[in-house]
A and B are shown apart, each in its own frame.
Chain A
């Protein structure tokens, strides 16, 4: 048992922190809350790649570093602390790579994995999962991919696809057995689709934060080479559930508004007793301490999940629990911060009266999405109950 990091891990954290500090000093980015997964440049990803910080946990034979998930969690914690612009490689690093390593063909691995770890041009990904009628219930996707000789022909519509407008490739979940009597969990497959393929139309959706970070994606007779199938035909659901464990386990679900929390603590420290009612100071002190407690709990849960993966176990229920817990905490930060700051919490970034560098208003706008992406809290709790506690479905 050991609840501290090794000296090597402490040194690694310091190295990452030093890199990020110099990048911020050079003006590459500044820590600001908003959409963590959108902001990114290949240039920044390339610098990370040079340091071996992409594909860190992947086995060496696939171009990775073979390092433990706990090390990766340290890296991610430092990146999210300052909301570093990692959007270019983030999804590929987090789940495309691990999924390819598990299920990909030799050819797919050889093409994508080295390019992803180098942050080469042309290998950023988006995830084509959700559909208008298949959100939490992913096995219900209606988009079809039907075999036609050496190709599949894709028709249908995806929605809520972050980065579809900038991504080079899409990771697609589509129905390969359209027979309505087929088992719904054994009739979908995963593909890698070139987003420049003829027949794909990407239409941005303006979200409640006023930004177009996600999209609708339409497929009309899109021809995809058969070699783009990932893993086995009709085994897509099983494969995707395994990928989701990785998607859910990360610190990104705890730290989407981390700079806001840091600023909130400083704000409460700095509150002038002569200008702040005693009741507010007492309430703020208690509430911020509660947030700190929940943050500590969530952080430990994330590291515990990473450690569990390092023990060679699949953390399905644990990862679901982790994300459900952590995203609720993130929403509480927004709520407590707005109550402490008061009516000015509404004033958005860029305005001189906007408090906490505009991070509060932006976080309030993004807040509702925290508990939805990567599985709603309700679905996650079902996973904990069904897979963790063995409760019956019927």
Chain B
């Protein structure tokens, strides 16, 4: 057992902390969220310059060769800053899926440009009910002719689809060459694709996609027919743990903000933080944060070593979901009315807590995975 971060990872973490503090203070978060693109091209370019868009990718394409723990701490710092950006959907999910699934030519065309920050992809994981359905997609790919399919179905909550060069989605393919969940890379400009912006809690740019017999060429199939679910399974544990990292960062900031506030806010002639009820609430927050950090880092480390981590990953997400939610609930309670205002940052974090809780499985789902591991 050694709970210390190694030097390389610490450097990335410190660099990221400084970078986001300068580039993305809370005022900037609001400005970025209000833009048409919903992200800052300037920050994106700088992140590419730091090599952060290719941490998971092979060196051959300009990546860092699977720097898993560096990615973990980087995403944590993004969560802390609440950076609005397509990073998670593009530099974590899409580039990793391409790396796992695509053939050489597509990797060569896409990955270097993605890593240099020249293009963005997004992944459409959720069906018309918001269900992650890679195993059995509610999106049909009907074979129209020998080299062409037609996609029919709905995808919800697709982040940054409006700025993406391609949308990765998994469709249930029925065709002469085979069948089963199959990964496609859809061009957002494809005729017939309807893209509807969604108004959500976090204000992050996200879309509903309606596909009614949208034509797509067979050469836009990524990887093998019928293996969409398998590709997704390869990246899902890591993606889940990176989501935990994002939550950790947010949680840490909420605890800091709240503790600082109860020290300075006076009521009844003394700081709020001198009241024992407030002591206990703050201790609960600190416990959530400390435990979430330990359990998520454990899963990240195991995955980084290629060790089995199904149970630890499920444990981490189930725990981080509840921990972050608890922290934001306590944070709101202790901030009082000011935390309920638009101008205060608290709500940015509580909405983030909800959005990230729902990503890659709510707690019941992961408890069920833990029960599976226990043989129950």
| A contact residues vs B (CB 8 Å cutoff) | 1-5, 70, 265, 268-269, 284-286, 288-290, 292-293, 296-297, 300-301, 303-304, 306-308, 311, 317-318, 321, 324-325, 378, 380-382, 384-386, 388-394
Q: Which of A3, A292, A321, A389 contacts B374 (CB 8 A)?
A: A292
Q: Is A293's CB under 8 angstroms from B280's CB? A: no
Tell me which residues from 1 to 60 in chain B have a Cβ below 8 Å from any Cβ of chain A. 1-6, 9
**B287 in the interface (beta carbon within 8 A):** yes
**For residue B307, which residues in chain A have a CB less than 8 angstroms away from its CB?**
4
Q: Is B364's CB under 8 angstroms from A286's CB? A: yes
Closest 4 CB pairs of A and B: A385-B279, A384-B283, A381-B283, A289-B367
Q: Is B298's CB under 8 angstroms from A391's CB? A: no
**B201 in the interface (beta carbon within 8 A):** no
Number of B residues with CB within 8 Å of any CB on chain A: 46
Residue with the highest number of chain B CB atoms closer than 10 Å, among A284, A318, A389: A389
Q: Is A392's CB under 8 angstroms from B1's CB? A: no
Q: Which of B263, B274, B312, B374 contacts A289 (CB 8 A)?
A: B374
Q: Is B284's CB under 8 angstroms from A392's CB? A: no
B48 nearest CB across to chain A (Å): 27
B299 nearest CB across to chain A (Å): 9
12 pairs from A and B in contact (CB 8 Å cutoff): A1-B6, A285-B368, A286-B371, A289-B374, A297-B295, A311-B4, A381-B280, A382-B283, A385-B286, A389-B282, A390-B259, A391-B262
Contact A391/B4 with A292-B370, A321-B287, A381-B280 known, Cβ cut-off 8 Å: no
Cα–Cα distance between A380 and B371 once the two chains are bound (Å): 31
Cα–Cα distance between A390 and B370 once the two chains are bound (Å): 36
Cα–Cα distance between A390 and B264 once the two chains are bound (Å): 12
Contact A1/B3 with A293-B370, A389-B259, A392-B273 known, Cβ cut-off 8 Å: yes
A199 nearest CB across to chain B (Å): 39
Q: Is B283's CB under 8 angstroms from A269's CB? A: no
Kindly supply a per-residue 1/0 record for chain B positions 283-306, scoring 1 wherever the CB is within 8 Å of any chain A CB and 0 otherwise.
110110011001101100110000
**B129 in the interface (beta carbon within 8 A):** no
Contact A385/B282 with A2-B1, A293-B318 known, Cβ cut-off 8 Å: yes
**For residue A392, which residues in chain B have a CB less than 8 angstroms away from its CB?**
263, 270-271, 273-274
Cα–Cα distance between A311 and B4 once the two chains are bound (Å): 10
Q: Is A1's CB under 8 angstroms from B287's CB? A: no
Cα–Cα distance between A116 and B4 once the two chains are bound (Å): 34
Residue of chain A at shortest CB distance from B301? A3
Q: Which of A1, A268, A393 contacts B2 (CB 8 A)?
A: A1
Q: Is A3's CB under 8 angstroms from B298's CB? A: yes
**B164 in the interface (beta carbon within 8 A):** no
Q: Is B2's CB under 8 angstroms from A391's CB? A: no
Tell me which residues from 295 to 339 in chain B have a Cβ below 8 Å from any Cβ of chain A. 295, 297-298, 301-302, 307, 311-312, 315, 318-319
Cα–Cα distance between A392 and B287 once the two chains are bound (Å): 19
**For residue B302, which residues in chain A have a CB less than 8 angstroms away from its CB?**
3-4
Cα–Cα distance between A123 and B310 once the two chains are bound (Å): 47
**For residue A301, which residues in chain B have a CB less than 8 angstroms away from its CB?**
290-291, 294
Q: Is A388's CB under 8 angstroms from B286's CB? A: yes
Q: Is B273's CB under 8 angstroms from A391's CB? A: yes
Contact A389/B287 with A269-B375, A285-B368, A293-B318 known, Cβ cut-off 8 Å: no
Cα–Cα distance between A284 and B374 once the two chains are bound (Å): 12
B119 nearest CB across to chain A (Å): 34
B358 nearest CB across to chain A (Å): 18
Cα–Cα distance between A268 and B371 once the two chains are bound (Å): 10
Q: Is A297's CB under 8 angstroms from B259's CB? A: no
Q: Is A382's CB under 8 angstroms from B276's CB? A: yes
A384 nearest CB across to chain B (Å): 4
Cα–Cα distance between A59 and B69 once the two chains are bound (Å): 36
Q: Is A1's CB under 8 angstroms from B5's CB? A: yes
Q: Which of B294, B301, B311, B371 contacts A297 (CB 8 A)?
A: B294
Cα–Cα distance between A306 and B1 once the two chains are bound (Å): 10
Contact A378/B280 with A2-B1, A389-B259 known, Cβ cut-off 8 Å: yes
Q: Is A394's CB under 8 angstroms from B283's CB? A: no
Cα–Cα distance between A384 and B375 once the two chains are bound (Å): 37
Cα–Cα distance between A303 and B3 once the two chains are bound (Å): 9
Cα–Cα distance between A2 and B4 once the two chains are bound (Å): 8
Cα–Cα distance between A386 and B276 once the two chains are bound (Å): 10
Residue of chain B at shortest CB distance from A394? B274
**For residue B259, which residues in chain A have a CB less than 8 angstroms away from its CB?**
389-391
Q: Which of B1, B283, B295 contacts A389 (CB 8 A)?
A: B283
Kindly supply a per-residue 1/0 record for chain B positions 103-131, scoring 1 wherever the CB is within 8 Å of any chain A CB and 0 otherwise.
00000000000000000000000000000
Cα–Cα distance between A300 and B290 once the two chains are bound (Å): 11
Cα–Cα distance between A385 and B263 once the two chains are bound (Å): 11
Residue of chain A at shortest CB distance from B5? A1
